[in-house]
Amino acid sequence: MASSFTLSFKIEIMAEVITGYSRMGLGSAIMAAQRSDPTNMTEVFGYSLVAVALMLVIDLLMSLLKKRILRNQSPGFEL
For the chain, helix, strand, coil in percent to 5 are: 75, 0, 25
Q: Rounded to whole angstroms, how far apart are CA atoms 33 and 52? A: 17
The pTM of this model reads 0.71
pLDDT band at 66 (very low <50, low <70, confident <90, very high): confident
**DSSP codes joined into one string, 49-61:** HHHHHHHHHHHHH
Whether pLDDT at 46 is above 90: yes
Quick check: 58 pLDDT over 60? yes
Coil/strand/helix, residue 62:
helix
